[in-house]
């Protein structure tokens, strides 16, 4: 039974965001300087100004209630897999996909200016970022401590607020983007510290239905379909049979 479908039927044009005279409200998850904001700049250029939200659902809600026109969210990571929470939120909120961006994630080792790297004992960041830099940290005997956000970790270090127990600005580094380092006036002591250089995150730009920034004529589009199946033998095979002859780029199964 088909449950929900969203179509890439409104194609984003980066020039639209840079040429418009009225600022277009956009939303991304995380603190200023987060990877979502960096991905947004890579997709649309430096002109758009985004507002950070605390959670993925806050971003969905912001667009749905017209506080923002667009939100950019991560849906899949090449190392960590699909972010199922956002797929579930797509079913709860009536938003459409208007753009897609594969973003290369590059982690930086960030400290306060003047701090000696040899005195760093701890690294704070989002759990996924710490996991992606595990080998690099182990080689330097640095203890990873998870926090709520990558850029948020740089902010905590800069402000010396809400740091985990035992962490001080002198013995702690943050793992975040170079944009986060610039945003909070911190030093990027080492870049590209991730263990795997094939670390990509797929971001989707979402909007309310009816918001158009470019005609779709002549542009190849994707279609995303979500459906549920009865618990009977061969149900998945029959469901996929409907798509015979269609090029599928991604299949995600929740059981």
Residue 60: closest CA among 204, 224, 176: 204
Is 22 marked active-site? no
Please answer whether residues 71 and 39 qualify as being in contact, where contact means their C-beta atoms are separated by less than 8 angstroms.
no
Spell out the long-range contacts of 79-85 with Cβ–Cβ below 8 A and sequence spacing 24 or more: 79/132, 79/196, 79/198, 79/199, 80/128, 80/131, 80/132, 82/252, 83/56, 84/252, 84/254, 85/56
Catalytic residue among 17, 56, 103, 203: 203
Cα(58)–Cα(50) distance, integer angstroms = 13
Distances, alpha carbon 158 to alpha carbons 27, 110, 146, 151, 171, in Å: 24, 10, 17, 11, 13
Please answer whether residues 86 and 75 qualify as being in contact, where contact means their C-beta atoms are separated by less than 8 angstroms.
yes
* Residue showing tokens 């990558």: 150
Catalytic residue among 17, 172, 201, 227: 201
Cα(224)–Cα(169) distance, integer angstroms = 45
Residue 108: closest CA among 199, 192, 32, 196: 192
Is 103 marked active-site? no
Cα(127)–Cα(68) distance, integer angstroms = 28
Cα(215)–Cα(44) distance, integer angstroms = 17
Tokens of residue 117, six digits: 């790297």
Residue 184: closest CA among 160, 161, 154, 205: 154
Catalytically active residues are 201, 203
């Amino acid at each position: 039974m088909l449950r929900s479908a969203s179509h890439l039927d409104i194609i984003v044009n980066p020039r639209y965001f840079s040429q418009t005279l009225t600022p277009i409200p956009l939303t991304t998850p995380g603190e200023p300087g987060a990877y979502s904001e960096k991905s947004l700049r890579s997709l649309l250029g430096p002109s758009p100004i985004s507002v950070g939200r605390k959670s993925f659902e806050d971003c969905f809600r912001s667009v749905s209630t017209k506080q923002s026109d667009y939100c950019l969210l991560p849906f899949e990571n090449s190392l960590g897999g699909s972010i199922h929470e956002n797929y579930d939120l797509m079913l709860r909120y009536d938003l459409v996909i208007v753009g897609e961006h594969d973003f290369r994630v590059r982690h930086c080792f960030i400290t306060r200016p003047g701090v000696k790297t040899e005195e760093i004992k701890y690294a704070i960041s989002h759990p996924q970022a710490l996991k992606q830099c595990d080998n690099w940290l182990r080689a330097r005997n640095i203890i990873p401590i998870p926090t709520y956000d990558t850029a948020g970790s740089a902010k905590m270090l800069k402000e010396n607020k809400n740091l985990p127990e035992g962490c001080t600005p002198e013995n702690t580094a943050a793992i975040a983007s170079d944009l986060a380092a610039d945003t909070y006036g911190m030093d990027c002591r080492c870049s590209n510290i991730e263990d795997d250089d094939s670390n990509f995150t797929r971001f989707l730009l979402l909007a309310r239905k009816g918001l158009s920034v470019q005609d779709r004529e002549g542009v190849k589009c994707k279609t995303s379909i979500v459906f549920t199946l009865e618990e009977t033998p061969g149900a998945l095979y029959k469901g996929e049979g409907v798509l015979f002859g269609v090029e599928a780029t991604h299949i995600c199964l929740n059981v």
